[in-house]
Amino acid sequence: MSQLKVLAFSMSIDGFGAGPEQSLQNPLGMGGMTLHEWIFPTRSFRQMIGAAGGSTGIDEDFAQRSKANLGAWILGRNMFSPSRGPWPDDGWKGWWGNDPPYHVPVFVLTHHARESITMEGGTTFHFVTDGIHAALERAREAAQGKDVRIGGGPATVRQYLQAGLVDEMHLALAPTLLGRGEALLAGIDLTALGLHCSEHVTTPNAMHVVLRRR
């Protein structure tokens, strides 16, 4: 049965899933790159950017797990574009070039309608204006029994958590402090949502924690 998952989501020790002042030049916000240093050396990440080699081991295992059995993604608008408000006529088609790393349908939450965009490699971006439940319904239909992954950002993950819709969440706790930015879990009672820690393991680059619904 299809599950809704948050996978390979990096968070700082002080609880931020993205840094402040996100922009075209700094899409992860100030200090945001330090959240993801656990995945950059892995074989999976290097293959995604067209590079050879890469590390194996626990970090690579979690990177691999984050790609398994996925039939669709859900993204907040910030994960697709640096622009805000009505869509500008600038030809923007995402941060990733002509062949994005998704290779399945992707549903982007937005307040402003836009025609779907078909990219290379099997990725099609669909823009959903009627909320998180509608996006999930469309994503599950497109996934055809496979899992749906929430790619972020933190505000989008929070919405699905608060609605009690997340079945599993893998957090990579990075040994870094951001001080400010977008908080991921602040004010959310995970135990009341039925989530518990089912796995945890530490590497030099991150502590990996898996939360699942009881």
Contact 98, 119 (CB under 8 A): yes
**Model confidence pLDDT, tens digit, residues 62-109:** 999 999 999 999 999 999 998 889 999 888 999 999 999 999 999 999
Assess whether pLDDT exceeds 90 at residue 119: yes
Alpha carbon of residue 175 to chain centroid: 19
CATH superfamily of 4-17+30-84+98-213: Dihydrofolate Reductase, subunit A (3.40.430.10)
pTM here? 0.95
Give the pLDDT of residue 70. 98
Q: List the chain domain ranges.
A: 4-17+30-84+98-213
The 195-202 sheet, strands edge to edge: 117-118, 124-128, 105-109, 70-76, 147-152, 4-12, 168-174, 207-213, 195-202
Percent of the chain with pLDDT over 70: 100
Chain mean pLDDT for the chain: 96
